[in-house]
Structure 1
Amino acid sequence: MRRLFLRQLRTRRRSRKISTTWSRNSSRSPKKNLRGCANRPYGTTIRVSPVQPISSACILNVNDGHRADLPPKIAIIGIGHEACGDDAVGRAVAERIRRSVSADVTVFDVRGNPATLLDVWKDVTCAIVVDAVRTDAESGTIYRIDLLTETLPPDVQPTSSHGFGVVSVVELGRILNRLPRQLILFGIAGERFEAGAPLSSSVAAAVHEVCRRIESEIAAIVR
């Protein structure tokens, strides 16, 4: 009886040892799935990080800086100083159009030196710049100028309160090869640029029309 009990005990121990060895070997030598790829060992935890959205600005083509199969990246840039009368019209346009454009359009408010534009528009497909201009035309007159193919009329000059004009920034960007594919300036003729003065009535009235034209530009680009 004692011998029979010891024989059964040894059999059970041997069975457990074989089962444990098979389990370890099966995890060390994983089977292959239908695609021929080895599966993960049993008991292995795979951590998957949350999916992060990829902006079109992060995927660039080495040839021209933009992928043709990606949606265009558009930037609207309002330039101006709120304490210098009509010079603030660019910021007024940026603030207003920010409420109506889609999430694909980025609106910037540049208050200081326009040289920062080189960083703002370096990865965009189209940049639309809004700024006050000094001209002999009636206050509130709107100019649309393609800064890559056209020159400003002789009587139209961007306001000088920024210290560095938009045209000068474009020329610098051309030298450094840091220009968007399309660059449009909406210039609004100002009347007064004194410190502390508000927007003149004619310039304030032009804000709505400029926003409407910018929306038309965007619609034509994304069409």
Structure 2
Amino acid sequence: MSVGRIVVIGVGNEFRHDDGVGWAVTARLAERAAARPLPPGTVLENCDGDPARLLGLWEDAALAVVVDAAHARPPHPGRVHRLTLDGTGTARTTTTSSHGLGLGDAVELSRVLDRLPGRLVVYAVEGADRSQGRGLSAAVAARVEEVADSVEADLRHGPGGPGDAHGPAGPAAPDDTRHPAGPAAPRKPTGAGGRVVRPDSPARPGGVARPGGKGAPS
């Protein structure tokens, strides 16, 4: 059964070190696709974070997965935050995007214009170095493979998400925050879509923090 158009968007700037993590993840997915094709209809894109550009890339997509660099206070370089939305609200997280207006504004604009994808999954990776130059810091580079695994899992589950019998309009899977020191939750290639889930508890070293915090979307 066709799941419709799927887009993976790496947000960032590869000339500002950790800001390039989104592009690094899409590059890794492209490398994998040469040996193991991604689900039909999947497109890999890169973007500098401009809200209008993001809106155009994910409009009419059944599933959009976005990978972006983020800042948090206190910082935990390499920590990964995951959010899911279905267009019925806005996401809140304890991180902010490393790019000006960023994802939060793109999501709000898309919501107002009724141009959100059927399901939106966002991975925000906390960075350590945004100075000019190429190459990721060690803490962030160590997360690229894991994030690529999780994104590929989202893609293979499709717009309904893992174990979601309700499809794109069904409930969202719980978001999580992963600490670089903690083991990644086992995932196999999948996809997602749903209502806003708000991650709030601080990450526990070696574990997963469950929904509950406040803040501005990336």
Q: Could you say which TM-score interval applies, normalised by the shorter chain?
A: 0.5 to 0.7
Report if the CA contact (8 A) 2:7-2:45 is conserved. yes
Superposed, which structure 2 residues align to 1:1-223 within 5 Å?
70-101=2-33, 102=38, 103-111=40-48, 113-135=50-72, 136-148=74-86, 151-153=91-93, 155-160=94-99, 163-196=100-133, 198-221=135-158
Q: Distance in 2 between matches of 1:198 and 1:169?
A: 27
Of the two structures, which has the highest relative contact order with CA contacts closer than 8 Å and spacing of 6 or more?
2
Task: From the superposition, tell whether residues 71 and 197 of structure 1 become closer, same or farther in structure 2 (CA, over 3 Å).
Answer: closer
Q: Distance in 2 between matches of 1:177 and 1:194?
A: 36
Report if the CA contact (8 A) 1:115-1:164 is conserved. no
Structure number with the higher helix fraction is 1
Report if the CA contact (8 A) 2:10-2:23 is conserved. yes
Give 1:122 deviation, angstroms: 1.1
Structure 1 gap segments, 5+ residues each: 1-68
Report if the CA contact (8 A) 2:49-2:102 is conserved. no
Taking structure 1 as the reference length, what is the TM-score of the superposition? 0.63
Aligned length: 152
Report if the CA contact (8 A) 1:75-1:121 is conserved. yes
Listed one character per residue, the Cα deviations across residues 179-211 of structure 1 (whole Å, up to 9, x for unaligned) are 110001000010111112531001011000000
What is the one-letter code of the residue matched to 1:181? G
What is the one-letter code of the residue matched to 1:203? V
Q: Distance in 2 between matches of 1:220 and 1:134?
A: 29
Taking structure 2 as the reference length, what is the TM-score of the superposition? 0.64
Give 1:150 deviation, angstroms: 6.2
Give 1:137 deviation, angstroms: 4.0
Structure with higher Rg: it is 1
User: What percentage of aligned pairs have identical amino acids?
Assistant: 32
